[in-house]
Every structure is written in C-alpha cells, then in structure tokens.
Amino acid sequence: MTLIAQKLDLTDLRAAPLPSRGKGLPLAAAGVRRGDVVRQGWRALRDLPTPFCLIRRSALDHNRRVMGDYLRRAGVELCPHGKTTLAPQLLALQAEDGAWGFTAATIDHLRLYRDHGITRIIFANQLVDPLAIRFLASELDRDPAFEVSVLVDGQDGLDLLRREIGQRRKARPLGVLVEMGAAGGRTGVRDPHAALELARCIAASPGLELRGVETYEGAFAGADKPEISRRVGELLNETARLANATSAEGLFAVRRPIVTAGGSSHFEQVVRVLRARLDFDAEIVLRSGCYLTDDHGFYAASRTDGGSGLAIAEPFKPALEVWGHVQSRPQPDLSILTLGKRDVSYDLGLPVPILWAPADGDERPRPIGDGFEVLRLNDQHAYLRTPPDHPLRAGDRVGVGVSHPCTTFDKWRFLALVDDDGRIEEIVETFF
C-alpha cells in the first residue's frame, strides 16, 4: 500500500487542555491535557455523566485488522471517507494502517485534513462553489506535495472548474474524475456515451488532469438485497466500461488511473466486479468509512459481497455505544432513558438496547437480554419497551448500539475511547 502519511500531526491537539464542560466529558476534565487522559484513571460508567458515547478499543482494533487483511488480499487501496468520524485521532489510526488517502465531501472536511497534514484527497463531489475551487487551487500552488482529485458529472460543472482554474497563475493541474451514475441513484452521468464525451472534454481542458473514473453505489436502498445487488452490479459494470473506453482512447493523464467506488455496504462486490471487468492497469480505490466502528443496525444488516469471491475473513464488530440512565419506569413495560435524538442516530433505524448496569455501583455492564426495544425518541428521551419482570429501575444505566455511525458521531464533540474494562484511554474529539 502507498502510505500518505506515517503519522498525522496531532501535536497541538494532544497538548491542548480539555474544556470545563461539554457533553461526553468527565466532570473533572477541565484543564487536563488530552495527551494525559489515560493517566487520570477515569472509567466510563463511573466518571461520565449521561448521556455519553464511547468507542470500544478492542472492536476498533479488530475492524482495522479485518479491513487491512482484506485490502492486502484483494490488492486494492482504501481512501476512507473521513466524514464518518471527522476525528483526527481516528483518521490517524487509518493513516497508520496504510490509507492511500482520505475522502472529503465538503470544503470544511478538506480544510480539516489539510490542517493535520493529509496530502492526498478525493473530493467526492462536483465542485460548484467558486470559493471552494479557489481554495483548492491555492492549496495546490502552496504545497507541491498536495494531491487532490474532484468529481465532474456534467458540462456545467466542468465549465465552472475551467473558469476558476483558468484564472490561476501557476501550472499545477487539478485532478478530475468522471463520475458515472445510474437512474435512481444520486449524482453522476446517466448516459455512458455522454460520460465518455465528458472525459474527452476534461482531457482537453488546460489546468485539469483526467485521473480516473468514480461512482457511488451506496445510493441504492431498500430491503430487497438481491435487487440492490443487481443494480449495484449494473452500475459497476457501466463504470468499468467507461474506464476501459477512456483508457483505450488514451485520455487518462496518469500511468495508473484511479477507478474508485465502494461505500461501507457493497465494497466486496465493488472489488469483485472491477477486478473482473477492468482491462487495464488501474488503481482500484475503495472509500469505505463506517467499517472503522461498524454498527448494530443498518450496516450490520445491509452488507453483502454480492456473490461468491473474495470477502472479509471475519465480520466487523460494532464499536460505538451510547449510554443513558433510566430516568423513570412509569409503567411495568416501559422505561424512559436519558438519551434521545440529540445523542444517537435515528435516520436509518432506531438504537438497539444491548447492555445495562445496575445503579448499585457495579461498573461491569451485562447483556440486557431479550424483549427490550427502543420504540421512539424525543430530543432528550428514549422510550424503551421493557419486559415487565425485568429488574431494571430508575438510576440504572442502559447502553444502546447505533444504526448508522455517521449520524451518531456528528452529535458528539467528545467520545470516550475505552478498553474492555471501561477504562478511558483517550478522549476523541470530532470537528463537525
């Protein structure tokens, strides 16, 4: 694998003191340097007021190992989407694991990456904001080591790039990937002939460099897995055909063009199809981000390799948990928890009850058992269906697993990274 950085620059982050308040912080956090957190002896269930969100180190490390093993066996690269966590401490782990680069969706993501020394970025959107285009151009001119590729899916987007890039004085080109799409998907060129013509236009554009082809197969949703797999396969086949045709015409400006796809649900199918269909030496780059923490809901249920072939050797393990107290048990079959929409994702499924810890001071969580279900959420409350004979009571704590890590991370500035005994090793800070 091609390392972009052996180590992200976390010097300033680790030296900075924790603030006096913030959701997810111990009450005694004020003034403690982030790099000294492990020396405080804090434990999640003893020292964090609820609600709080934690990351289990053992599951995190397991997922890193499983993905690393898969990438080596598959012979492909990973440019993880940093928007999942937007946490430099976690991005640094991915860089240590050999990330080829990082994927950004907004200019704010890109600025965060640049602040921490990331030098290779896929900007997985078409740039339409002149301010963002000018910022990218200035970064290219400022840093000769910086490498970025952006998406284009139409003539209007290409014209915007041409107009802004054409005003630059310096000569380093901006990398461009043609985005292939499909009916019912998100962005991307729908017509293969139009996509090839767009590639020709990019290749002929001064200041731009055609580096490859991109697609996003994760926009297909629904409960019918075989149908989703079929539609994903069609899109990937079309993407490979476009890449092959573009290569045959000699339009790519780099020796090993990039062909990139792969969210967190279908990346195994992406590898299987692209490896079989590409007829030139391409850099196959996945952009999965949620693998790092996985979840108890959407991704755990939706992942499929789309058929036989190379697959991950072991399932990923869910690493994220959100904890709240039982605030009330107003009736035998209902408990109200001190966590809600402000604390946990709900866009791709409600949280999943997994653990509980009695109020007697026992810091060892135990499986909560069957019969529990989060019925709905308010801003600060969860309605938990409770077996009438279960001893759960006000003051006990309940841990829930999440469905969709991205929209849980963005609800927390601070998350506790813990070992299997609940000791807090690090306070992870996000920058949403």
d(CA 119, CA 107): 15
Q: Are 339 and 397 part of one and the same domain? A: yes
Q: Is 80 exceeded by the pLDDT of residue 18?
A: yes
d(CA 259, CA 404): 26
The CATH number of the domain holding residue 14 is 2.40.37.20
Q: Are 275 and 347 part of one and the same domain? A: no
- CA-based nearest residue to 214, from 272, 283, 304: 283
Helix (H, G, I), strand (E, B) or coil at 99: coil
Q: Are 158 and 268 part of one and the same domain? A: yes
CB 89 within 8 A of CB 413: no
Average pLDDT over residues 146-166: 96
DSSP assigned state of 344: S
70-128 confidence digits (pLDDT tens): 999 999 999 999 999 999 999 999 999 999 999 999 999 999 999 999 999 999 999 99
Q: Are 264 and 340 part of one and the same domain? A: no
- Give pLDDT, residue 343: 98
Q: Are 286 and 337 part of one and the same domain? A: no
Q: Which residues contact 155 (CB under 8 A, 6 or more apart)?
A: 198, 201
Structural domain including 218 reads 119-290
268 belongs to a structural domain: yes
d(CA 391, CA 372): 12
What element of type H or E holds 302? helix 298-302
Q: Is 60 exceeded by the pLDDT of residue 6?
A: no
Q: Is 60 exceeded by the pLDDT of residue 305?
A: no
- Give pLDDT, residue 306: 47
Strands 283-286 and 258-261, bridge-based pairing: parallel
Write down the mean pLDDT value for the chain.
94
Q: Are 184 and 273 part of one and the same domain? A: yes
* Maximal CA-CA distance, the chain: 74
- CA-based nearest residue to 431, from 10, 5, 6: 10
DSSP assigned state of 103: E
357 belongs to a structural domain: yes
- Give pLDDT, residue 267: 94
Cite the beta strand spans of 287-361 per DSSP E: 320-331, 334-337, 352-357
Q: Is 60 exceeded by the pLDDT of residue 340?
A: yes
- CA-based nearest residue to 175, from 106, 121, 135, 116: 121
d(CA 180, CA 170): 30
Instruction: Report the amino acid identity of residue 245.
Output: A
91 belongs to a structural domain: no
CB 152 within 8 A of CB 177: yes
Q: Are 250 and 342 part of one and the same domain? A: no
Radius of gyration of the chain (CA): 23
Structure tokens at 37: 């957190």
The CATH number of the domain holding residue 166 is 3.20.20.10
Q: Are 219 and 263 part of one and the same domain? A: yes
d(CA 430, CA 289): 15
Q: Is 50 exceeded by the pLDDT of residue 1?
A: no
364-378 confidence digits (pLDDT tens): 899 999 999 999 999
If one compares 239 and 5, the residue with the highest pLDDT of the two is 239
